[in-house]
Structures are given as C-alpha cells and as structure tokens.
C-alpha cells in the first residue's frame, strides 16, 4: 500500500469542497492510505491537474456550473489516458442513471453523508491500489 493517495475534489462551491474533505477525512478506512486533497474550482484546473500530477481518485460535483461534474467525468474518461476512478456527487438519488452515463465508478447524493462518501472513496482507493477496475453500483 502506498503511503498517501491523492484525491482531486472538483466543485465551484468552497463549502462543498470542505464538506468532502471533512466527510472523508484524512483516512477514509483503515485499509487504505492516508489522503491528500487537491482542490479545483474550474474545468481548466481539473484538466491541468490531471495532466501534471498523479491523481488516485477524482471526486466531481455534479452540481457545479458551468461545467458540471457529470460532463467533466465523461470528458476526462474520453481524454485522459489511464483516467483515475471517479466518485460523482449527484443532486439526488434519482440522478444515478446520469452518473452511469458519465462513466463514473461510484456516486453519492447530496446532502453528503460522511459514511457513504468515506465508504465509496475507500472502495475506489482499494481498486486503484492494484486491483482490477470494476464498476461500482450507484
């Protein structure tokens, strides 16, 4: 297991980015590495960060404007070689089909539930730690 994992958090809302950091914490589960967060508020910042840094998991806010997390997810899945797994924050549970369309590996709905977010993030970190990538149920 690597010493730390890098998680990109994309949202135009600083409160949402803070909620994600607080909900998942420094270590979302005992069997995954400690987490360092990289925050992005714009699509260009996401693309630049993915090109320049090793990112283990992306957490994208589907409610971000003008480039929503669902569209960003679909774009990076098409454009970024060896794209990291994506956890999508969706507006409501009924939007799970949109998360599937975007090709996100996992989704958690607003308001952010710390247990659900930490569990989904830990699952994606386990997969990116050398296990084969599989789609997680939304």
| Statement: residue 61 has pLDDT above 90 | yes
**What is the average pLDDT across 43-65?**
97
- Give the CA angle between residues 29, 72, 77 to the nearest 5°: 75
End-to-end, the C-alpha distance of the chain in Å comes to: 26
pLDDT at 80: 93
- Give pTM, 2 decimals: 0.90
Q: Per-residue DSSP letters for 59-74?
A: EEETT-SSS-HHHHHH
Q: Quick one: pLDDT at residue 95?
A: 85
Bridge-based pairing of strands 86-90 and 4-10 is unpaired
Confidence of residue 30 (pLDDT cuts 50, 70, 90): very high
For 94-117, the pLDDT digits (tens) are 888 889 999 999 999 999 999 999
Alpha helices in 1-138 (DSSP H): 14-24, 43-52, 69-79, 96-102, 114-128
Q: Give the span between the Cα atoms of 13 and 86, in whole angstroms.
A: 18
Buried b (16+ CB within 10 A) or exposed e, 28-42: beeebbebeebbbbe
CB 62 within 8 A of CB 69: yes
């Amino acid at each position: 297991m690597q010493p730390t994992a890098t998680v990109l958090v994309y949202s135009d809302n600083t409160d949402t980015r803070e909620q994600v950091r607080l909900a998942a914490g420094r270590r979302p589960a005992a069997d995954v590495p400690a987490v360092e967060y990289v925050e992005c508020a714009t699509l260009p910042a996401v693309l630049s960060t993915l090109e320049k840094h090793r990112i283990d998991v992306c957490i994208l806010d589907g409610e971000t404007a003008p480039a929503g997390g669902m569209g960003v997810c679909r774009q990076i899945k098409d454009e970024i070689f060896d794209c990291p797994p994506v956890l999508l924050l969706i507006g409501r549970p009924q939007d799970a089909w949109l998360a599937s369309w975007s090709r996100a590996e996992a989704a958690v709905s607003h308001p952010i539930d710390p247990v659900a977010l930490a569990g989904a993030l830990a699952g994606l970190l386990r997969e990116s730690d050398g296990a084969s990538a599989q789609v997680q149920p939304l």
